[in-house]
A and B are shown apart, each in its own frame.
Chain A
Amino acid sequence: MAVVVCNNLTKRYGKKTALQNVNLNLEPGRIIGLAGPNGSGKTTMIKLMQRMLVPTEGQVLIQGKEPGPETKAVVAYLPDRDFLPDWMKVSALFGLYQSYYADFDRAAAERMIASLGIDQNQTFKKLSKGTREKVQLILTMSRKAQVYLLDEPIAGVDPAARDYIIRTIISNYNPEAMVLISTHLIADIEAVLDEVIFLKEGRIVLHENADDLRTKVSMSVDEYFREVFRC
């Protein structure tokens, strides 16, 4: 049974259509790449799944329910920017996640932080940009969620940090969960993807199993992405 369902999902900002009639069924236990150029509607789609936006038409369902407090309890969301209270210490952020999310595995988070040598007594704002992104990812992936929504997790970080982020995702996510990774850097995550969705100007132009797609087009997903979205 699909864990995320989109039925004719549409979002307009005034006259501008950000998402147009999106229909999707996303199964659990899959890592799915949501690919598209900037402005194609990736962040809008994720925000709709997290009820940070309200659809203009259609609906999105998470485990059969419209996004709200119940679905947020099972969805781990990583936005495409710094989003944590920066005056708090790393250890206090652990406490915050622990108090708000029943599925947060603090021991796992502490292990990951320790393996990176990050001082838990350091305030979040004093960490470097790369370290802040790692802390945010660790907090998100330390939840035993049913759905992971990761918005551009590897954009703007160096290649070594990208490897760490991808390793952290695939070694920590709940295997029964669905992971949706939005990105325009397909090459870096192609190896871990089970499915890919291409989004162009708010419409889905492709939704396929990654292996099937490679066989069908005789090229890598990244190469095909470049062909589809060539300027």
Chain B
Amino acid sequence: MLGKLLGYEMKAYGRIMVPIYIALIALSVVLGIGFHFLPDAMTHNFIFILLFILYILLLVSVVVMTTILGVNRYYGNLLGREGYFMFSLPTRTSTMMTAKTLAALIWTAFGAIAGFASILLTSLIAFNDDSFREIADAITEVLPQLKPYLGNIIVWVIVIVVGVVTLIVRVYAAVSIGSQWSGHRMIGSILVYIGFKVIETIIASIVRAITPLRTAIENIVGNADSASFKPAILALVIILVQLAIYWVIAWFFTDRKLNLE
């Protein structure tokens, strides 16, 4: 069932995001060609300036639309009127939450890749000469030097991925509590999200105020050498605890306290 739900989520995101990615890549090519053949176009050509503004707007819309869809796939599809369909499916709430979290994570990654690819594509076409090749050579030279830190880099990548998942699930938890209100649910959700951040800050302050805890953290972070895994592991543990707490909150209010529109 998870695969089917994930497929459905991917389709729901794809119908909005894929056209934006296609437009972004197409515009990258046009801008790259423009920069290559008309280096002064940005100062002289009005249409070119408009295309560049459109390109920036598309880059921004990738971020904005991924965020809006991430919230709406939970708020609208699960807790809105479509929830009557979703909660009639022969599956568990946790399975639906997993599918939505995975889809949001995948489309966040797609968004980052699309943005990076479009900038790279424009650069490749625009600066298709030695200067670009020099940069590529420099990167190739630096990469082997990073080899001793590879393990650490992988752990930090995991920290970033889990951090994104925690951000997504924190939003789900806020939306699921905000939906307990009969009206102004979105405002309620935003207030709950702010509340979560305030509580996190207060807990962090309390931890810093407890001397033995602060000393332990300082020992891990401050005394670690650059190849040490300890700071990354500490960050991972903290984020995983947050993830577990927000997951339980989101599950409880979505499953046990479901309040469909």
Contacts and interface: CB of A to CB of B under 8 A. Distances in A.
Contacts of A82: 81
Interface of A: 50-54, 68-70, 72-73, 75, 77, 79, 81-85, 87, 96, 99-101
Interface string B65-91: 000000000000100011111011111
Contacts of B84: 52, 77, 79, 81, 83
B180 to A, nearest CB: 11
B15 A100 contact: no
B87 A87 contact: no
A85 B12 contact: yes
A100 B86 CA distance: 10
A73 B1 CA distance: 12
Given A87-B15, A99-B4, A72 B85 contact: no
Given A51-B87, A75-B88, A84-B85, 7 more contacts: A52-B260, A69-B91, A77-B84, A83-B82, A83-B83, A85-B82, A100-B90
Contacts of B256: 54
A33 B81 CA distance: 25
Interface size class of B (residues with CB under 8 A): 20 to 34
Interface string B32-75: 00000000000000000000000000000000000000000000
B81 A83 contact: yes
Interface string B219-261: 0000000000000000000000000000000000000111010
Given A85-B77, A96-B8, A72 B15 contact: no
Contacts of B1: 69, 100
Given A85-B12, A87-B15, A100-B4, A72 B82 contact: no
Contacts of A81: 81, 84
A101 B89 CA distance: 8
A52 B81 contact: no
Contacts of A54: 256-258
Contacts of B92: 68-69
A75 B12 CA distance: 26
A37 to B, nearest CB: 21
30 contacts: A50-B87, A51-B87, A52-B258, A53-B258, A54-B256, A54-B258, A69-B1, A69-B92, A70-B90, A72-B88, A72-B91, A75-B88, A77-B84, A79-B84, A81-B81, A81-B84, A83-B81, A83-B82, A83-B84, A83-B85, A85-B12, A85-B77, A87-B12, A87-B15, A96-B8, A99-B4, A100-B1, A100-B4, A100-B89, A101-B90
Contacts of B77: 85
Nearest to B91: A69
Contacts of A70: 90
Contacts of A52: 83-84, 87, 258, 260
